[in-house]
Amino acid sequence: MKKRNKFKHVIYMLAALAMLLYALPQLSFQNGPGWVLGFGVVWCIFAFLVIASHLHFIIGVDEEKHKRLEAVRKHKLEQWQSKWKDEPARVSQRS
């Protein structure tokens, strides 16, 4: 399932890259700053963001972060369980 999911992201990233490569030569800087140039620049920025987000997923940065967070959760759960295991002994010693 994960390989298929990554394959989907590779396809989407390549499609966004192809659209960007097609659009870049069409941008005209000869007329100076204007609405057309502004739209083209904003569109390219969004295309770069789409490519970066898919690349981020493909590289697996979220997986590493998820593993670290899961280790922290597991450690906290173990601490909580050991605290509650010791709690009845403390209550009986107080009585």
Distance CA 71, CA 67 (A): 6
Q: What is the pTM of this model?
A: 0.59
Does residue 36 share a domain with residue 6? yes
Domain ranges, residue 88: 60-95
Say yes or no: 73 and 35 in one domain. Answer: no
Each residue's pLDDT tens digit, 48-93: 999 999 998 888 776 777 788 889 999 999 888 888 877 665 555 6
pLDDT single digits (tens) 20-46 = 999 888 877 777 778 888 888 898 899
Number of domains the chain is built from: 2
Question: Would you tell me how many other CB atoms lie within 10 Å of the CB of residue 54?
Answer: 21
- Measured CA angle at 28 (ends 54, 42), to 5 deg: 35
